[in-house]
A and B are shown apart, each in its own frame.
Chain A
Amino acid sequence: GAVVSQHPSWVICKSGTSVKIECRSLDFQATTMFWYRQFPKQSLMLMATSNEGSKATYEQGVEKDKFLINHASLTLSTLTVTSAHPEDSSFYICSARDSRGRSSYEQYFGPGTRLTVT
């Protein structure tokens, strides 16, 4: 149980285009999902908290107009990188918290998406 999927796992896009990344909780409901980014040789950094049915909460320094987050259902959150540029190339990974509270502390992670912008 507690499986989170991400799609796509790897994407290459041209500068100026937009890319959508999906994060799904497969066997549980998640009112809260989190989006992280990891640059080479750095830690996972929280970008935003995605709340089902409401606006996402962005961390300081993360542009909400560039990284659009939609959490329209209890099992799906999407991150859209708009007008992507090479500096947006990174590893994006999501996590989800089980709403039914197997443990209020635990987060379950997806496998991540490698984005390369050329």
Chain B
Amino acid sequence: ILNVEQSPQSLHVQEGDSTNFTCSFPSSNFYALHWYRWETAKSPEALFVMTLNGDEKKKGRISATLNTKEGYSYLYIKGSQPEDSATYLCAFGNAGNMLTFGGGTRLMVKP
């Protein structure tokens, strides 16, 4: 059974704060690491798919890094806004494209 863990489970920040959270995953047989953003009552939205050790990806104020050798990825949000409030999920993808999800980090940004 693959163990994908995210921390923290939840996070409250003030508008304008920068924040980051962690996803840890098995370092062996790595194929892909996915980040999703999931707002209540909506579909999870794909943020990044990362495949190479040392990968850094950016989308607006959100960026992510990947370390496959030690089995972790960080997601950063610069200058958090209330609309960033959501649950952020990471998932370890295997060669068959099956995803094993972490428990998510629930981010709440206060105006």
Contacts and interface: CB of A to CB of B under 8 A. Distances in A.
A24 interface: no
B97 A32 contact: yes
A106 interface: yes
B89 A105 contact: no
Interface residues of B, number: 23
B32 A105 contact: yes
Contacts of B43: 4, 108-112
A43 B99 CA distance: 11
Given A43-B104, A44-B89, A111-B43, A105 B51 contact: yes
A113 B98 CA distance: 20
B101 A43 contact: yes
Contacts of B51: 105
A88 B108 CA distance: 30
A46 B46 contact: no
Interface stretch (B34-42, B60-68, B77-85): B34-42
Interface in B41-81: 41-44, 46, 49, 51
Contacts of B91: 44
A93 B96 CA distance: 19
A34 B46 contact: no
Interface of A: 4, 32, 34, 36, 42-46, 49, 93, 95, 97, 103-112
Interface of B: 4, 32, 34, 36, 41-44, 46, 49, 51, 89, 91, 93, 96-104
7 contacts: A43-B102, A44-B91, A45-B101, A46-B98, A97-B97, A105-B34, A105-B97
